[in-house]
Amino acid sequence: MSSTGQQGTRPVAIGSLPVGTGPAVVLRGASAAATPSAAPERSASRPASGAVAGQDGPAREPDGKHADGVWLRPPAGRAAAELTRVRAWWDGPLLAEPATPDDLPALAAHADALVLGPAWAGDPALVTVAGALALPVVLARGAAALEDWLRAAGAFAAAGAPGVVLCEDGALRASSGPSGVAGPDLGLARAARTRSGLPVLVAPGDDPHLAAATVAAGADGLWLAPEAGPDDLTAAREAVTLVGALIREEAPGSVDDARQAIDRVDAALAVLLERRARLAGTVQRLKPVGGFAGRDMERERRLVAAMARRAPLLGEHRLAPIMNAVIEAGLHLAEETRRDTRDNGGKPASHGAEKASHQGGHRSRTAMEALAAPAPDHD
């Protein structure tokens, strides 16, 4: 394990994927092919497992990336065939849920982790058999109470499972509550993580924007349904990157891991810098004298001092030149935009930021954009 992990959490390796240390992970369900008797191969009907049949691989994000890991719930008696089929296009971390104990040998041969629900946890004989496979166990909560969930996790560890990851999957399995909207219990997931020291995955359900809240609540990973599309994957990845950069402690142990952690922080910085530039542009428009001519050095000194209270390592004297560059970039952008607007007969002209996003063509809405929709009337 290349880093020390989240405080108090015991990381678990699922194949090559560390869970509970480093960034939160994104796992996505793989489609299970329909059984020949239920529907022809490649049909779009829904098999008993609830997965969409007929897809050959996991959805990709627009940039071509897959999820970090794939999970599968093959129909009874089809585990070997389904796992072999998925292994043909996916050699990364693979998690599988057995429909019956007869599926266990196939899982032991092909999967990196067992996904087990409350029914297994309630049967001591099954716990013993599953623990003896020496695969990590992802223990779905289903509708279990916190105490029962944690007790079951302890039972799998005692039976020999080399690691246990909890999965709050209430959104996938439980029927919707009084609100009519099914969703994960983030408070319960957080309590389970604190109490047990085990990594916790959370299924954010049908609303991709819950991914950000899920990471903010401290989840070590997102558990996406097989139906999750590229935009859902992108929203999940954005939440992991941006929200994780703000709240998730990392202690990387290699240059590569440290650079990846820096990339996530830079991604969050970029979103915030863009947002700040828009707001600073609004101030230039509203002030009696905007732009460089209306510069207010006392206000700049005070904002640097306030920032230094949150960034004591950097301190005022290091933050001051950074913020000077940030503020001047914003003023240049505001003046450029004002000139463009004037040249455009008073109509708002596309400035740099807009041009860039237009050039990129269609861009899906990110988690951070959804959290903090930018003001539409920027300068």
Residues of this chain that interact with ligand PRE (CB under 6 A) are 280, 283-284, 287, 295-296, 299-300, 327, 330-331
Q: Which is nearer to ligand PRE, 45 or 324 (CB)?
A: 324
Task: State whether residue 127 is helix, strand or coil.
Answer: helix
Of 114 and 304, the one with the shorter C-beta distance to ligand PRE is: 304
Residue with tokens 């990196």: 112
Q: State which H helix or E strand residue 279 sits in.
A: helix 255-286
Q: Which is nearer to ligand PRE, 145 or 289 (CB)?
A: 289
The Cα–Cα gap between 340 and 356 comes to: 16
Please choose, from the candidates 254, 273, 260, the residue with its C-alpha nearest in 3D space to the C-alpha of residue 352.
273
Minimum CB distance to ligand PRE, residue 291 (Å): 8
Minimum distance of ligand PRE from residue 326's CB (angstroms): 7
Comparing CB distances to ligand PRE, the nearer of 124 and 321 is 321
CA distance 5 to 215: 15
Q: Specify the residue, 295 or 318, whose C-beta has the smaller distance to ligand PRE.
A: 295
Q: C-beta of 319: minimal distance to ligand PRE in Å?
A: 13
CA atoms of 367 and 232, how far apart (whole Å): 10
What burial class does residue 129 get, using C-beta atoms within 10 Å of its C-beta: 0-12 exposed, 13-18 middle, 19+ buried? middle
**Measuring CA to CA, how many Å separate 243 from each of 30, 141, 275, 366, 371?**
26, 25, 15, 12, 10
Side chain identity at residue 344, one-letter code: N
Nearer to ligand PRE, 115 or 333 (CB): 333
Which among 57, 130, 140 has a CA at the least distance from the CA of 92?
Answer: 57
* Distance in angstroms (rounded) separating the CA atoms of residues 134 and 112: 10
Question: Please, what is the minimum distance in Å from the beta carbon of residue 347 to ligand PRE?
Answer: 24
Residue with tokens 């439980």: 174
Q: Least separation, in Å, of the C-beta of 43 and ligand PRE? A: 57
Q: How far is the CB of 296 from ligand PRE (least distance, A)?
A: 4
Shortest Cβ 339–ligand PRE spacing (Å): 17
Q: CB-based burial of residue 12 (10 Å sphere; 0-12 exposed, 13-18 middle, 19+ buried)? A: buried
Rounded least distance, CB 289 to ligand PRE, Å: 10
Of all residues in this chain, which one has the CB nearest to ligand PRE in the complex? 280
Of 102 and 328, which CB lies nearer to ligand PRE in the complex structure? 328
**In terms of CB distance, is 287 or 318 closer to ligand PRE?**
287
Q: Which is nearer to ligand PRE, 231 or 300 (CB)?
A: 300
Specify whether the backbone of 315 is left (phi greater than 0), alpha (psi in -120 to 50) or beta: left
Q: Report in angstroms how near the CB of residue 373 gets to ligand PRE at its nearest.
A: 21
Are 53 and 45 spatial neighbours (Cβ–Cβ below 8 Å)?
yes
Distance CA 172, CA 169 (A): 5
Q: Are 43 and 1 in contact (CB under 8 A)?
A: no
The span from the CA of 267 to the CA of 249, in Å, is: 16
